[in-house]
A and B are shown apart, each in its own frame.
Chain A
Amino acid sequence: MKLRLTDEEKEMLEGKHGRATKKAMDLIVNLGEIYGAERLIPISSVQIAGVSYHNLGEAGLEYLADMAVDGKVRVITTLNPAGMDLEEWKKHGIDEDFAENQQRVVDAFARMGVITTCTCTPYLIGNLPHFGEHIAWAESSAVCFANSVIGALTNREGGPSALAAALTGRTAEYGFHLQENRNAQIKYKVDAKLHSTEDFGLLGYVIGERTRKSIPYITGIPHATTEELKSFCASVATYGGVAVFHMEQITPNRTTVPEETEIVTREDIDTAREALDDENAGIDFISIGCPHASINEIAKIAEMLEGKEISADKTVWITTARPTKDLAKKMGYYDVIEKSGAFLVSDACCAVAPLKGRFKGLMTDSAKACFYARGKNNFKTEIRTIEECIREATS
């Protein structure tokens, strides 16, 4: 065996730290051997995917409950979105059976000491690694953000492997934990002015579709907000499986710069929009907050909705993390949004909630949300700016 373990790691593998830790270490050692790691490394933060009962099913829940018998996390660990707002689910039309099962999932994580935040943007609410820190995150958009925008180092973990990292405080050193696997492979020059989260989502679609897991080096973007970058990360990860990218003057990682250059034009962005726009979409659902909305986005949405009313034939979900919702309540944004007839939904999102059959057409500013709305829920989609989404909702 090439993989060397420390004494403590051997003890975990032998079961001296409990059964869940043994199972977790077993999984990590297995992965390390498969992917040629020479050692395990300590990680300091975990983000777990596979939280919605809709995705896990009863078998997935049994797996978690089994690990929760004696498993305890060793580092800060947060959760991906669940299938519902854990407090206000009833008024969003979630049925009681689902709610009960979803709560059982969250309770199992809580027994293991996981912070049950349920958000895809842990970096906005207190699970924020720094440059060069090794972490084990699932959730493709957050992986992309952590690797690229922050400069932390993580592979694209799955639900069970992220949990295993949390229970052992270790991951196997392979893939994106090694500097040599993080260099750019192809250069994209963006020859278009981008204005909003939806534009950056469309850019993610264009580059994701072209680059297919290879690492992009992107030039030609003079400025991007955190919200625009989170939109880009979600999209480029969804459509291209991209786990790390470099953006000149914006992202912090060192890299060699590839010679081969492709141009992205305004026309490419418009073609991407056409690809995500269905004809006769019959919009009856508007959702903003994929990835979860920041307090800054919620403030702007509240301003747009002030004194307006959502039209009777439309449902609006603004999705966010619970701490952000609590802050929105304190600031008065929640009252403005809810008074208009829109919902400020925390803990959940339109991609993982059980919404199939409830709506026909989704309008959103998120290219990623379009993918899951089509694939999982059979909704038709239209991608627009946040302003246009709100205008549609109130017209």
Chain B
Amino acid sequence: MKGRKIFGGKVQGEVLATHDDISFYGGCDPETGVIVEKGHELEGQSIAGKILVFPTGKGSTVGSYVLYSLSKAGKAPLAIINKSTDPIVAVGCIISDIPAIDQIDVSQLETGLKIEVDADNGVISII
């Protein structure tokens, strides 16, 4: 799969996918990486060390700092893959060195899938 580079880097890991948009501010615990938004598909699950796949970001502009806090706490996702990355998530990835790609058909990436993300070239491959 090929998409658009948001922020560069190359990683391998396991997919954690959701159909719901994510609001990092208020929706994700900045210290543990656990999704805390009530009724969210990933409620109670940790995004730490996963290749996090979701359609797009939503909610407050403070979300960028939550990604930064996660990164400082070692609880950030390994990479982020979106249908369309909103500026809040993009800024979060850039200041936290999280590889990210968008313009991907995210419905094809299911939880548990092992993939390689080559964000510099915008390429995702199944391993």
A: residues with CB less than 8 A from B are 26-27, 30-31, 34-35, 49-50, 55-60, 62-63, 138-140, 155-161, 241, 375-376
Residues of A within 8 A of B73 (CB): 59
- Most A CB contacts (10 A, CB to CB) among B30, B63, B64 go to B64
Q: With A31-B87, A35-B87 in contact, do A158 and B63 touch (Cβ < 8 Å)?
A: yes
Check if B61 sits within 8 Å of A159, measured CB to CB.
yes
What number of residue pairs across chains A and B have CB atoms under 8 A from each other? Answer: 78
Bound-complex Cα distance A214 to B68 (A): 29
- Whether a CB of chain A sits under 8 angstroms from the CB of B113 is no
Nearest 5 A-B pairs (CB), nearest first? A59-B69, A59-B72, A60-B65, A158-B61, A158-B64
**Cβ A50 vs Cβ B61 within 8 A:** yes
Residues of B within 8 A of A160 (CB): 64-65, 68, 91, 95
Asked whether any CB of chain A lies closer than 8 Å to the CB of B22, the reply is: no
A162 CB, min distance to chain B CBs, angstroms: 8
Name the prevailing secondary structure of the A interface residues.
Answer: helix
A156 partner residues in chain B, CB cutoff 8 A: 61, 87
**Interface pair A155/B91, CB less than 8 Å apart:** no
Q: How large is the interface on B (under 10, 10 to 19, 20 to 34, 35 or more residues)?
A: 20 to 34
| Contact indicator A60/B69 (Cβ below 8 Å) | yes
Mask for B81-106, Cβ within 8 A of A = 1, else 0? 00001011011101100000000000
CB pair A57–B30 under 8 Å, yes or no, is yes
Q: Which B residues are in CB contact (< 8 Å) with A138?
A: 61
A27 cross-chain contacts in B, Cβ below 8 A: 91, 94-95
The CB with the most chain B CB atoms within 10 A, among A139, A241, A375, is that of A375
Contact assessment for A34 and B61 in the assembled complex, using a CB-CB cutoff below 8 Å: no
Bound-state CA distance A140–B62 (Å) is 11
Given pairs A59-B69, A156-B61, 17 additional interface contacts (CB within 8 A): A30-B7, A31-B90, A31-B91, A31-B94, A34-B4, A49-B62, A56-B65, A59-B30, A59-B68, A59-B73, A63-B95, A155-B87, A157-B61, A159-B61, A160-B64, A160-B95, A376-B26
B84 → chain A, closest Cβ, in Å? 11
**Are the CB atoms of A55 and B62 closer together than 8 Å?**
yes
Contact present for B65 and A55 (CB under 8 Å): yes
Taking a contact as CB atoms under 8 Å apart, the answer to whether B6 and A34 are in contact is yes
